[in-house]
Structure 1
């Protein structure tokens, strides 16, 4: 017989209440456990967050050899879109060439390609996370990720550089002074450098296992710069890091293998400097000077000035005992620069010369490659100068366009395996932009000079012969003054004008009608309209209220390039439109390709076979299109 523990009409006994409480606690623990398991194995699980490919294919190492002097051709090229993650300012794309591979680093993650062919080898990225830093030493890469919207969730991932295999993962620290423009932080001797939350400590972790090998406290009152453009750099045997020491900056050089301080120098500004390391030389630029230190930390060259390097580090290379640096002298105009060679052992200047504002330098053996944003004033391609250690220069066009004012990637050069690698920013795809990586090889020579890409100077048409008087009459500019402008590249002078400006003739005011300023109203309102001679920035003029079909205020026709063949001209025109914030394709102008550049239709870039021409006519509306159509007709059938 079973007897009830509860009398009819009575409340719950303590035993029942205990069971109820135990059930509630058990349920709460179950829910909490499920939440933890879901967070760990679902929300933060590697299996769905990580996009990871690996390779077992061997890679062929490359020698330190670039292409020979002469015309250049594209071996392969790729674009990488910029990644605008939740952390402002970390939207750059950066590159390096090592061990026969090209590494592309961006907020999306790492992508590694075969340096000879451009074929994909391996990649690593994390969905919902942004890569804010990476380092490289020997055959190891380390990537640093932060979870979008949860900056406290951070992770280091150690990777084998050749296969892409994951070696280790760690949480809890930060990269040591990662660059905002290249996302890279120092590593060397198989050790990657990290820091604590307060940035008062410098740690060395094994790039192979992630284990901490050493730790060093920074000098009292000092901490590492955070979020700076380029506050550190490193090689296998030495790492240099800028320190913020209570309003004064310092430069600390350490041995990455042991953490031992090799030297420590005070700088002249409280702002974060730009730091660049070459083999045995450290360059530091702040708003007071550009300084060069040898491997022992002794300064051997100083260039004083607050804007020598602009917004980026002055490019420099080391050729034996010779440091070659490009900078902008104080008071120089936008197209003026200087290049100097300084002996490291003595500090003596060996040579100096005027130079364009080089965007990047690269060395291969005794040869230095220098990237100039414009081959020459008024022409479209970027240029490559080959600088000999004695100061001699040979110039050749690059098969791409470069606007150094665009963001997304700092212009970059590297030479290896007989190829020259160049990275330049693009505005397309709009609005985010991208970085274009181009691998260049030596191209076929032609009947003309290397400065023209092998094209004979006689093949360049006369810019003033591309429009007839009847063509100009259609925009009411039959009565005009012609202003031709010739072009030259180095010692090569083109035989015909490359730019032709058509301006309306000034009219004498009628007797007794002088207007408010004593001049013809048309003359007062006259605005000379020209294309930007150093790039395509046109189409930004707003039309004024005027009578129907007014006379054109001015027209400019510019021959921006003559390529060896139509295919290479097409690639160059595509590179041009990709650097423009606004570009619209036109298919009704009679040429092979055409784009309207800018917010209005006043500037048109046109390709006819191997010729690239820019027509600039801001008003009246449609004038640029009419004249571009006429130019296309005359290039298809040259006028007699």
Structure 2
């Protein structure tokens, strides 16, 4: 009898422990009350008109920075944005943040501690986010919200979104239906964005499955969703692999059209209003509403590593691509659906496009080679005429994380660019831009008169160069243009040993004949016999990267420059208003004096760039 009591006691203890573990897991470890940080709003928001800023200079209305989050799933660590219904949605691994599009003020947000957001989508007035528990990819949940208030609509565990993009974290939804898939990626489900219930099921064609990952393997709009499929022809295991594009009606799950593509790689898919763009590594193709192909641009590098930027406006598809065998980029306007090219011209390598109010806005990484700001072109879709303005920020489109992005609404332009700061993981910077003061100078220079730009070759005097042991050196100037505006004075000055250029048979860009004649305070060739001690400076270049309307605007530009650098250290011993040492060595100094931003580069000896930068700062503070 005693043994029975002991056995019953052990059994009871075991049951109690198991029950305790289950309860702890269910009501503590998985409990929403401690995992979730969720804010909502009752404040109304006014939708914005579909119009961008007028041509001319731009100013920052507000900006926000979102830090990168490197989660357990490689590749899904970007930051993505959407402007809709008077709000800006920011989606990152941290969760969702929704702000007022006009002011940047907080509206609502949602985060889950110990979880990472790996996807999101929106349809009509609903937003749905997909989270996975860190360290356990089998623990997943979809969470749906009212887009305006942030109020929770439903949660559904175990559901997987269909074909999440690694660059935008988006997956398709439309007509209040969210598209999901099974574990084998061979079936599509339509889930109600209102209730979370499954509304329909669609098996993919035999031998086909959704691409599990890709830069942008799918996309959608309210009335159509398109997916890249990895298919084996004939359904055989040993059959030839080939990608296909499947377009479905999100409301019913019916197949609208199905097209074969030209490679076996995951395609890049972009949906416009009535047009589907697909790039598969062999060509860029444009399909109409019914799946008819009306445009094709062939070449394995036609879109580079990312999707070709494209917008649809006034019945024209405006797209930017890289012609096969050419070095640059080209913009074309194609009539839909005839496929007739209405105009075509060479353009900079635009990082992003947006359209609003019958205008196309194009983000260029550089206003001009050698100048610091990015640029914004406003393109007339009818004939391709373009006006250019500097963007009040600098950018490096090759930085990882946020893909450059552009949107226009409410008389404003929204731009997101990647940055290296805060280090080491970096961040995405979102800027809301409005029309700025016109100034007295050209819009291409932000309203600053060309006469305000100093001569880069006058920023060092003979005394400065002799002190650097640069006797016998020659100043080689370079000039720059911003759109049709050509700056009359050199923006960059490189100092070379006399005869070096002649030996190489080179002529620097922008150099004019007769440039070697002496200038006041700065001869082109120095012949002083008074040699200071120490090694001569080598590889010296002084560049005026920007002249802003105000010191505050110049400070913002310098901050944007250092934020795009993997290594940047503040220097307080240069003598300017602000200065940064950039790069792994001390060979590059970026400084601001008033409204001037100047970069000094010197290969050797160590510390030479800082010494020269002090001289430049002094000359700008005390102009002759």
TM-score, with length taken from structure 2: 0.93
Report deviation, 1:482. 1.4
2: distance between equivalents of 1:385 and 1:51? 40
Which one of 259, 275, 295 corresponds to residue 289 of structure 2? 295
- State the SS of the aligned residue for 2:109: strand
Kindly indicate whether the alpha-carbon contact (under 8 Å) linking 1:470 and 1:478 is maintained by their aligned counterparts in 2.
no
1:433-452 equivalences in 2 (<5 Å):
433-452=426-445
**Aligned 8 A contact 2:478 2:508 in 1:** no
- Pair 1:615 & 2:600 matched: yes
1:590 aligns to what? 575
Aligned to 1:155: 141
Matches within 5 A, 1:56-75: 56-75=42-61
Match of 1:495 in 2: 488
Q: Summarize the alignment of residues 5-404 of structure 1 with structure 2, pairs less than 5 Å apart.
A: 15-246=1-232, 247-333=241-327, 336-389=328-381, 390-404=383-397
Number of residue equivalences: 589
Q: CA deviation at 1:286?
A: 1.4
Residues 476 and 508 in structure 2, CA contact (< 8 A), matched pair in contact too: no
User: Partners of 2:458 and 2:44 in 1: how far apart?
Assistant: 57
TM-score (norm 1): 0.91
Question: What secondary structure does 2:107 align onto?
Answer: strand
Query: Residues 205-237 of structure 1, C-alpha deviation per residue, up to 9 Å, x if partnerless?
Result: 000110000000000010101121100000000
Q: Distance in 2 between matches of 1:17 and 1:393?
A: 93
Q: Secondary structure at the match of 1:88?
A: coil
Question: Structure 2 vs 1, CA of residues 324 and 529 (structure 1 numbering), >3 Å: closer, same or farther?
Answer: closer
Query: Which residue in 1 is equivalent to 2:520?
Result: none
Shift of 1:472: 1.1
* Secondary structure in 2 matching 1:269: coil
Is contact 2:477–2:508 with CA below 8 Å preserved after alignment?
no
Q: Deviations over 1:166-196 (max 9, x none)?
A: 1111112210001011110000000000000
Q: Mark the runs of 5 or more structure 1 residues left unpaired by the alignment.
A: 1-14, 508-522, 531-546
Please name the residue that 1:533 is paired with: none
Deviation at residue 504 of structure 1 after TM alignment:
1.7
Report what 2:546 is aligned to.
561
Give the equivalent residue in structure 2 for 1:513. Answer: none
8 Å Cα contact 2:229-2:246 kept in structure 1: yes
Structure 2 match to 1:515: none
Match of residue 626 from structure 1: 611
Match of 1:541 in 2: none
Q: Look at both structures and tell me which one has the larger radius of gyration over its CA atoms.
A: 1
SS in 2 for 1:17: helix
Pairwise CA distance, 1:154: 0.5
CA offsets 1:552-598 (integer angstroms, 9 cap, x no match): 22210111000000000000100000000000111111100000110
Describe the superposition over 1:32-57 as per-residue Cα deviations: whole angstroms up to 9, x where unpaired. 00000001111111111111111111
What is the deviation of 1:408? Answer: 1.0
Task: Say which SS state the counterpart of residue 536 (structure 2) adopts.
Answer: coil
Query: How many Å apart are 1:505 and its aligned residue?
Result: 2.1
CA contact (8 A) 1:383 1:396 kept: yes
- Distance (whole Å) between structure 2 residues aligned to residue 121 and residue 437 of structure 1: 16
Whether the aligned pair in 2 keeps the contact of 1:173 and 1:197 (CA below 8 Å) is no
Write the distance in 1 (CA, Å) between the matches of 2:155 and 2:508.
Answer: 59
Aligned-partner Cα distance in 2 for 1:601–1:67: 41
Distance in 1, matches of 2:450 and 2:493, equals: 17
* Contact 1:187/1:256, CA 8 A, preserved across alignment: yes
- Structure 1 contact 214–258 (Cα < 8 Å) conserved: yes
> Are 1:636 and 2:621 counterparts?
yes
2-structure distance, mates of 1:170, 1:550:
70
What is the aligned partner in structure 1 of residue 401 from structure 2?
Answer: 408
Cα shift readout 1:362-392 (whole Å, capped 9, x = no counterpart): 0002100000000001000000000001210
Q: Once the 2 structures are TM-superposed, how far is the Cα of residue 144 of structure 1 from its aligned partner?
A: 0.6
Structure 1 segment 428-577 matched on structure 2, within 5 A? 428-506=421-499, 549-577=534-562
Asked whether the equivalents of residues 504 and 553 of structure 1 are also in contact (C-alpha less than 8 Å), the reply is no
Q: Distance in 1 between matches of 2:465 and 2:423?
A: 35
Q: What is the distance in 2 between the residues matched to 1:452 and 1:132?
A: 41
1:85 aligns to what SS in structure 2? coil
Please give the per-residue CA displacement for 1:447-504, whole angstroms capped at 9, x wherever unaligned.
1000000000011000111101111112211221111111111110001010111112
Runs of 4+ in 1 over 4 A off after TM superposition: none
Query: Displacement of 1:323 after TM fit?
Result: 0.2
* 1:130 alignment partner, SS class: strand
Partner of 1:534 in structure 2? none
Classify the secondary structure of the residue corresponding to 1:467. Answer: coil
Deviation at 1:16, TM superposition (A): 2.8
- State the distance in 2 between where 1:426 and 1:61 align: 30
Structure 2 gap ranges (5+): 233-240, 510-531
Return the offset for 1:529: 13
Match for residue 423 of structure 1?
416
Q: Distance in 1 between matches of 2:359 and 2:295?
A: 22
CA distance in 2, matches of 1:308, 1:284: 11
Would you say the 8 A contact 1:203–1:214 is kept in 2? Answer: yes
Cα distance change of structure 1 residues 548 and 266 upon mapping to structure 2, 3 Å threshold: farther
Q: Secondary structure at the match of 2:153?
A: strand
User: Could you tell me whether the CA contact under 8 Å between 1:529 and 1:556 is conserved in 2?
Assistant: no
Alpha-carbon separation, structure 1, partners of 2:464 and 2:575:
15
1:592 touches 1:609 (CA, 8 Å); kept in 2? Answer: yes
Q: Compute the displacement of 1:308 (Å).
A: 1.3
